[in-house]
Structure 1
Amino acid sequence: MTEPKNHPYATHLDIKFDPLTLIDVAQLAKAVTDPWYNQTLCKVNDSVVRLGVMQGEYHWHKHDNDDEFFFVLSGKFIVDLEGRSVELLPNQGFVVPRGVVHCTRAPEKSVILMIETAAIVPTGDE
């Protein structure tokens, strides 16, 4: 694997909340000022739940060993795949299977939850 590239995203992989702790996603999202923000909220078994607050476009990437689940809380979130795009609106979710090249984008400020393995590298396997 090559040296990871620098990306202009605020990505926080630390686990912000321990078990038995109330997580107020709306309050957390409201405080975000970064255009593309990703924070690990909690760990559930071998997976993590991450909060994404974003507007703009992420880069094309893939995860060789990990599936990724996106669930939209507010806004509009688009998953571009080779040959098609999937638009997600509030209360809609989508799984990108491991090994599938994809690019995500949010044409307006959007709040999403992501569920993925704790070992995943959010920027992809480069």
Structure 2
Amino acid sequence: MNDETYPYATHLDIKFPALATVDVPALVKACTDRWYNQTLCKVNDSVVRLGVMQGEYHWHKHENDDEFFFVLEGHFIIDLEDRSIDLQPHEGFVVPKGVVHRTRAPDRAVILMVETAAIVPTGDA
């Protein structure tokens, strides 16, 4: 999912199967993209994704799915229509389904996301 409309490196393949060690530091170290999203593993009907990001994502929403963001490194901002949430390392936030939002990282940030496996990362609207 890396095209002119959405210039993000989005990898929906499951990188680590069950019973494998999930090596986040190795993926972060190897990352050269400004907006990188890699599915790490699947847990029941959800997935855990790694984001290594700098810059802005577009405004969007997920009509049927909540999203959880958890910051590992850097700081990460979630803009909502009426306010902005500025997350620091080891802080998280849930964006409920149907809520229009935009994420951004002024400097390089490393985050984990938990969402359903069926979610479309770029949003449905």
Query: What range is the shorter-chain TM-score in?
Result: over 0.9
Q: Which residue of 2 aligns with 1:6?
A: 5
- The one-letter code of the counterpart of 1:125 is D
Counterpart residue number, 2:50: 51
How many residue pairs align between the two structures?
Answer: 122
* Separation of aligned partners in 2, 1:78 and 1:49: 19
TM-superposed CA distance for 1:6, in Å, is 2.8
Residue in 2 aligned with 1:21? 20
Q: Which residue of structure 2 lines up, in the alignment, with residue 66 of structure 1? A: 65
Helix, strand or coil: the match of 1:20? coil
Name the structure 2 match of 1:98: 97
Q: In structure 2, how many angstroms separate the alpha carbons of the residues matched to 1:117 and 1:77? A: 21
Name the % identity: 75
TM-score by length of 2: 0.96
- 1:17-55 Cα offsets, whole Å, 9 max, x none, are 100000111111111000000000000000000000000
What TM-score, normalized by structure 1, do the two folds share? 0.95
| Partner Cα separation in structure 1 for residue 42 and residue 54 of structure 2 | 25
Alignment of 1:78-89 (within 5 A): 78-89=77-88
Q: In structure 2, what residue type is equivalent to 1:94?
A: F
Structure 1 runs of 4+ aligned residues shifted over 3 Å read: none
Give the SS at the match of 1:30.
helix
Which structure 1 segments of 5+ residues have no match? none
Aligned residue identity for 2:82: G
